[in-house]
Amino acid sequence: MEVLSSGFHLTSVISLVLYLCIFLLLSCIVLFFLVVLHQGWKFRHIPGPKRSSVIYGCLQEVREFLEKGNNKLDLLMKWQAEYGTVFRYSILHRYIVVALDPDVVKEILGKPSVHWKPYVPYGIMGTLLGNRFMGNGLITEANHARWKIHRAMLNPAFNRKYLMTMVETFNDHADHLVSYLTDRADGSQEVSMYDAFNNATLDIIAKAGFGLELNVLDNPNNPFPNAILTCLNTIQSCIQNPWMKYGLTSKVKKAKSEVKDACDLLRRVGKSCVENRLAAKARGEELPLDMLTNILEASKDLKGDENFGIEEMLDEFATFFIAGQETTSNVMSFTLEQLGKNPRVLQKLQEELDEKIGGQTFISFHDMGKLEYLNLVLKEALRMYAPASIVNRVTGTDVKASTGIVIPKGSQVSLSPFVMGRMAEYYEDPLIFRPERFIESKHSPYAYFPFGYGQRSCIGQQFALIESRIIMAKLLQKFKFDLVPGQSWNISFAVTIRPVDGCKNYVSLRH
């Protein structure tokens, strides 16, 4: 009898647990559909593609579009043509509003304390597959009050006086790139200018920012650029697959191991750099006037401030390399691509260089003010190829678009300077590369924001523009570039955008 009683009780417990699991599962399913219904009702007034799946929303349509060799930016442009300047789409239970409207850009980016950064993608960039990557750096910090403290601390490292002292560093590394290309300037070798720009800008940000001599341009096997690329590609994979961090497949395990090694390398190099600089200061040595010295001075050597210690310094170290190196090389690659496709623009630009710079081997801060057409060329390249092509925020209040559509409070909103830069609503013949457009007519400042807008605009935009002008001026002064035929000219989208085939050129001397 006791055995039967024990068996009966065990069966009852198992049955109770089973019923409870079924109840919880059904409750989750019901809750999911209630959320989907609520979200659908909340965004019913905003046009957009229908949910192709009750569970997955538009996810299948997105995947099929991407599998055809397109990227997310192509999809946004397709939907914009169908639904207008403000539309929404759904992924699982979540609705995302895409706002390609200057009024919305002005409101959302102009009030960073009201409209905040969402977890995707910024939280993913902060902690990548469980590894601290960009942490609470300027790009990823969602708390506006803490961000203001960090920004104020970093501002001295990017002021005009400091940037003027960096012109010599920019010239030195531009000359190094000229030497590198001269060895290959026989008119027959294929040169990936994306790789050349990427390595040169990495050397520049390392030297100008932290006094590091990476010399990646002469040592392509240096693990540093591969570590950055690994992190960028993994960020995009995590955005497309939010459950990746929970994956147990061998492919995911390999990705986790590679990301851990990459993050460890970047932060280990950064920590060594900071510790060596602090030790040099303690010994009373003369310190280089670079970003690191400025930051350590502003942060009182990382002591006595709970908001900014060694880990926060390493967050900014990783942030500078992602935001200050890869994006600049991409813009220069796309600029060179467009110059190769537009010989009229190239000729006009080289005539300006010959007239204003001539045979000068050093380009000063003052010289850059003379290069008006080069400035227009870079501005046009940034219009068509904004490196930070999508900016995401969560609305803290209702936001009204110029069309009258109201984006509800709590909406995740995507703004895209890339897509807006290619819209006929804001630019005449937007797919034509025509630098003169910026002096022939005026455009809404809120339709052109390649470096962001408002308080949270890119702190390093002037650094990037000065660097780009010096490098492009020296290369176009010295070389003739011919695009290698047969390239796809497609864009690879992985947080930033880059040319898929690397902007390959045949390089030869102009004179």
Mean pLDDT value of segment 411-433: 96
* Dist. CA 304–CA 322, nearest whole Å: 28
* Dist. CA 68–CA 126, nearest whole Å: 31
Mean pLDDT value of segment 360-368: 91
Q: How confident is the model at residue 416 (pLDDT cuts 50, 70, 90)?
A: very high
**Structural domain count of the chain:** 1
Question: How confident is the model at residue 4, as a pLDDT?
Answer: 46
Q: Does position 473 have pLDDT exceeding 50, yes or no?
A: yes
**Tell me, what amino acid is at 249?**
T
**Placement of tokens 């190829």 in the chain:** 385
Q: Tell me the whole-structure pTM to 2 decimals.
A: 0.91
Residue-wise pLDDT for 266-296, tens only, equals: 999 999 999 999 999 899 999 888 888 888 8
* Dist. CA 438–CA 149, nearest whole Å: 35
Q: How confident is the model at residue 305 (pLDDT cuts 50, 70, 90)?
A: low
SS3 per-residue string spanning 21-52 = HHHHHHHHHHHHHHHHHHHHHHCCCCCCCCCC
Residues 6+ apart with CB under 8 A from 221: none
- Evaluate whether residue 24 is within a structural domain: no
Q: Which token pair is 270? A: 């950064």
**Which long-range CB contacts under 8 A does 73-79 form with residues at least 24 apart?**
73/389, 73/390, 73/416, 73/418, 73/419, 73/491, 73/493, 73/497, 76/390, 76/414, 76/416, 76/419, 77/419, 77/422, 79/48, 79/49
Q: How confident is the model at residue 304 (pLDDT cuts 50, 70, 90)?
A: low
CATH of the domain at 83: 1.10.630.10
Residue with the bigger pLDDT between 425 and 159: it is: 425
Render 299-324 in DSSP notation, one character per residue: TTTT-S-TTSSHHHHHHHHHHHHIII
Q: How confident is the model at residue 241 (pLDDT cuts 50, 70, 90)?
A: confident
Question: How confident is the model at residue 153, as a pLDDT?
Answer: 86
- Which is nearest to 478 in space by CA: 168, 169, 167, 177? 177
Residue-wise pLDDT for 149-160, tens only, equals: 889 888 888 888
Q: How confident is the model at residue 229 (pLDDT cuts 50, 70, 90)?
A: confident
Q: Does position 354 have pLDDT exceeding 80, yes or no?
A: yes
- Evaluate whether residue 30 is within a structural domain: no
**Which long-range CB contacts under 8 A does 291-297 form with residues at least 24 apart?**
291/157, 291/158, 291/162, 291/208, 291/209, 291/210, 291/320, 292/209, 292/210, 292/211, 294/156, 294/157, 294/162, 295/153, 295/154, 295/156, 295/157, 297/156
Q: How confident is the model at residue 60 (pLDDT cuts 50, 70, 90)?
A: confident
Q: Does position 440 have pLDDT exceeding 90, yes or no?
A: no
Characterise 130 by phi-psi region: left (phi > 0), alpha (psi -120 to 50), beta (else).
left
Question: How confident is the model at residue 267, as a pLDDT?
Answer: 93
Residue with the bigger pLDDT between 294 and 307: it is: 294
* Mean pLDDT value across the chain: 90
Residue-wise pLDDT for 148-187, tens only, equals: 988 988 888 888 888 888 999 999 999 999 999 999 999 9
Query: Coil, strand or helix: which one is 58?
Result: coil
- Evaluate whether residue 34 is within a structural domain: no
- Evaluate whether residue 54 is within a structural domain: yes
**Tell me, what amino acid is at 489?**
W
- Which stretch of 229-243, 350-364, 386-400 has the lowest confidence by average pLDDT? 229-243
- Which is nearest to 57 in space by CA: 45, 49, 67, 47? 49
- Evaluate whether residue 25 is within a structural domain: no
Residues 6+ apart with CB under 8 A from 37: none
Widest pairwise Cα distance in the chain: 107
* Dist. CA 417–CA 387, nearest whole Å: 9
- Evaluate whether residue 17 is within a structural domain: no
- DSSP secondary-structure letter at 498? E
Mean pLDDT value of segment 398-412: 96
- Evaluate whether residue 9 is within a structural domain: no
Question: How confident is the model at residue 120, as a pLDDT?
Answer: 82
Q: How large a percentage of the chain has pLDDT more than 70? A: 97
Question: How confident is the model at residue 238, as a pLDDT?
Answer: 87
**Placement of tokens 């990783």 in the chain:** 318
Cβ-count burial of 246 within 10 angstroms (0-12 exposed, 13-18 middle, 19+ buried)? exposed
Question: How confident is the model at residue 10, as a pLDDT?
Answer: 66
Q: Where in the sequence is the domain holding 184, given as residue range(s)?
A: 43-509
Q: How confident is the model at residue 6 (pLDDT cuts 50, 70, 90)?
A: low
Question: How confident is the model at residue 307, as a pLDDT?
Answer: 72
- Evaluate whether residue 15 is within a structural domain: no
SS3 per-residue string spanning 159-220 = CHHHHHHCHHHHHHHHHHHHHHHHCCCEEEEEEEHHHHHHHHHHHHHHHHHHCCCCCCCCCC
Question: How confident is the model at residue 397, as a pLDDT?
Answer: 97
Residue-wise pLDDT for 16-35, tens only, equals: 788 888 888 888 878 877 87
Question: How confident is the model at residue 1, as a pLDDT?
Answer: 47
